Amino acid sequence: MINDFLEMNGHYFKQHKFSKAVLAIGSAEYHGDHLPYGTDTIVAEHLAKQTSSHFDDLLLLPTIPIGMSQHYSSFPIAISISTETLMRVLNEVFYSLNKHNIKKLLIINGHDGNIPAIQAATKEYRTNNPGFKIAVLEAWWETAAKLLPKDTFQSWGGLGHAGEGETSMMLYIKPEFVNFDFAKGVIPNLPENIQYTWVFREITPYGVTGDPRKATEQKGEKMNDVLTKLLVEFVKEMDENDWEIK
């Protein structure tokens, strides 16, 4: 899939005067038998495109399609890079944007394993380059669950890897990529308040957590709409304050 950025020529870029950018980060890993390997990438890129379409000066960057997926490698086939490598990639992207005077970046992350690298890379770069502003939607699946009414989801608050929420989003965004006949999952018995570091085979025999059978296109549309509204309103508010915290 060719990104708009790659199709854009230099003349268009110079004339358009982009002042900020949006970067989607995904992964390539097993999402059960009912969803594609690129689910995390597809959803993050979709949200980035939805957001950029509301602004003339928001540059949609090429999506980073591979993340840190070692903890999902129990199921074939997880294509993973290390946390250190992802941090290095992000730092190089930040440097490139900064060099070309694009100093405001929104990151939309689609995968839990990327969060430590994103947090470390953004904090380190901002400390050394305070004029470069970065905002991150770290976990859209958790944010959507918080923003929607509690009775929106039937199982585990809609959470889970390839579970109710993620499957609903794919049913809305790319229904042709969903094979609902193979949807099955399990809700793992994880401790509360303490983070138990698992590898995926320890908590599910299916490569899926949550209950994808409860997913619907209508729930996916609600998630999409509330997340897009959040992102667009956030960028507008930040623009009003020149991306400073007021």
Alpha carbon distance 30, 207 (integer Å): 7
Element (H, E) at 171: helix 164-173
Smallest Cα–Cα separation from 107: which of 182, 25, 52?
A: 25
- The residues spanned by each domain of the chain are 16-189+196-235
CATH class of 16-189+196-235: alpha beta
Place of tokens 């709409």: 225
CA quadruple 97, 246, 143, 103: dihedral, nearest 10 = 0
Is residue 91 pLDDT above 90, yes or no?
A: yes
Place of tokens 């897009």: 228
Smallest Cα–Cα separation from 163: which of 192, 139, 141?
A: 141
What percent of the chain has a predicted confidence (pLDDT) above 70?
99
Is residue 121 pLDDT above 90, yes or no?
A: yes
Is residue 237 pLDDT above 70, yes or no?
A: yes
Whole-structure pTM over 0.85, yes or no?
A: yes
